[in-house]
Structure 1
Amino acid sequence: MTAESEYTIDELARVADTTVRSVRVYHERGLLPSPDVRGRIGYYGTDHLSRLQTISRLLGRGMKLNGIRELLEAWDRGDGLAEVLGVPDQPAAEPAEPEESHPELPEYAKQALAASDDPLEAYRVTNPRCCDLATRLVDGGIPVHTSFEMVERLRADCDRIAGRYADELFHSLAGKAFEQSERSPKDRTKFETDLAIARLIVTRAAAELIDQAFARHAEAPPLSFGPQAG
């Protein structure tokens, strides 16, 4: 068997067709593991090269460094397919009773409501991407508790959409090819890239469809706004 290749940082950058500065940035941002330091020189292996090539491909597909780091961290933890792809991993919700008007809030939302100073700021810590919506609802005169309920219902609906379609879509776009491969390091690297691309494609399509749906409702007569009967 051939011994694993070793590279200095200059050699790694050259082989990966990138720059030493980029390699250092990826270290600082937590995307690339530290080298094996012997003496004063750091040595990189084929795993570093594969990771670096994956990062370059994902950047070329339009992913941001933070998103790439989250993806790679999930993969390194050995998370399942849902976690690696960012599919919500909340426990399956019990079927909601049709007459239930005040669904149970998740524990982090309850803790935010119990915050003495600023519930919205406490909510932002655990749910930053949805806090802006909750804040605007509160600014519009909706009580904080009701605002949290509305946001969490939206989250639950999105979770149901992901649970219904994610496995089939991601398996078709990435998993099937990997299952049929030899599952070599090269195949694994391609799988990582395919997963990231699949997530981008599906997320963008879903966002566009949701935007179109909301646009249709926004064009409805103003008097039709508000909770729907039934």
Structure 2
Amino acid sequence: MAAESNFTIDELARAADTTVRSVRVYHERGLLPSPEVRGRIGYYGSDHLDRLQTISRLLGRGMKLNGIRELLEAWDRGDGLADVLGVPNQESAEPTASVDPQVEDIYPDLPEYAKHALATSDDPLEAYRLTNPRACDLATRLADSGLPAPDTFHLVERLRADCDRIADRYATELFYRLAGQTYEQSPRTPKDRAKLETDLAIARLIVTRAASELIDEAFARHFELPATPPRAAEAH
């Protein structure tokens, strides 16, 4: 790995556009080397970032974590491409699956990983699940209701984009008020840093719960059934 290691795990996750939990999972599964530990904090370098971005790209192409680990291990050993893939060395290769041009025309705003999922010949929903596991339950239920995969991914991605906009609009102020302001006024010692991480985790829990309840309340208003009118009195 690179000699310079300047990212904390939070900073690395943000730079790679992933989550801290994913970084830890990749480390536990052997896909990501250990950080450089200084004091009690692990620091990551540019090679870690490159590795994370490679993992994301491979997930976007429908590969599973075990397969990615084997591929990266072979690459780290310096195996040739034919050895990595386990096939005889040859010039020709299977053509890459392409997205239906009609899908491109109707949903040009779909992210690349969703387009790659649609291009898979086996199970688009499974390929999508690998890159968006938190939304898989909703996507599965939409697909089970008979919605085509392109429409399913488009609905889920619109919902995700709206959630991103909510976070972008409110996160800075909310997290600053609940956690960052206290840290800003502190001496910023390692103890203060540890307290900040705890305060941020608590703040995230508070905000997530509040947002969940508010969204549930909003949906309840839309799904509320009209009152059943009283039966007319029967004529005698």
Shorter-chain TM band: 0.5 to 0.7
Q: Distance in 2 between matches of 1:211 and 1:77?
A: 39
Say whether 1:115 aligns with 2:120. Answer: yes
Distance 2:44 2:212 in 1: 28
Deviation at 1:165, TM superposition (A): 0.3
Larger Rg: 2
2:156, 2:106 → 1: CA distance?
14
Deviations 1:79-129 (A, max 9, x none): xxxxxxxxxxxxxxxxxxxxx974510000000000110000000000011
Picking from 147, 171, 184, the partner of 1:179 is 184
Q: How many residues align?
A: 138
Query: Which of 152, 156, 159 in structure 1 is aligned with 2:157?
Result: 152
Aligned to 1:23: none
Residues 58-73 of structure 1 mapped to structure 2, 5 A cutoff: none
Q: 1:109 touches 1:148 (CA, 8 Å); kept in 2?
A: yes
1:218 aligns with 223
Distance 1:109 1:101, change over 3 A: closer
Q: Which of residues 162, 187, 196 in structure 1 aligns to 2:167?
A: 162
Deviation at 1:132, TM superposition (A): 1.4
Q: CA deviation at 1:218?
A: 1.5
Q: CA deviation at 1:186?
A: 1.1
Aligned equivalent of 1:208: 213
Question: 1:103–1:149: 8 Å Cα contact kept in structure 2?
Answer: no
Uncovered stretches (5+) of structure 1, i.e. residues with no partner? 1-27, 37-44, 52-72, 79-99, 222-230
- Percent identity between the two aligned chains: 69
C-alpha distance in 2 between matches for 1:182 and 1:173? 18
TM-score, scaled to structure 1: 0.53
Q: Secondary structure of 2:158's match?
A: helix
User: What CA distance in whole angstroms lies between the structure 1 residues aligned with 2:149 and 2:123?
Assistant: 10
Q: Which amino acid aligns with 2:139?
A: A
State which of 127, 130, 138 in structure 1 corresponds to 2:132: 127
Distance 1:104 1:124, change over 3 A: same
* RMSD, aligned CA: 3.1
Q: CA shift at 1:192, angstroms? A: 0.9
Structure 2 segments unaligned to the other structure (5+ residues): 1-27, 46-104, 227-236
By how many angstroms is 1:138 displaced?
A: 1.2
Structure 2 residue aligned with 1:191? 196
Cα deviation, 1:164-200, whole Å, max 9, x if unaligned, reads: 1000000111111111110011111111111111111
Show structure 1 runs of 4+ deviating over 2 A: 100-103
User: What is the CA-CA distance between 1:135 and the residue it aligns to?
Assistant: 1.2
| 1:48-77 Cα deviation digits (max 9, x unpaired) | 4xx8xxxxxxxxxxxxxxxxxxxxx8xx55
Shift of 1:211: 1.1
Q: Work out whether residues 124 and 131 of structure 1, in 8 Å CA contact, stay in contact via their aligned partners in 2.
A: yes
Letter in 2 for 1:112: A
Question: Structure 1 residues 178 and 29, CA, compared in 2 at 3 Å: closer, same or farther?
Answer: farther
Residue by residue over 1:135-181, the C-alpha shift from the partner in whole angstroms, topping out at 9 and shown as x without a partner, is 11111111110010000000000001101100000011111111111
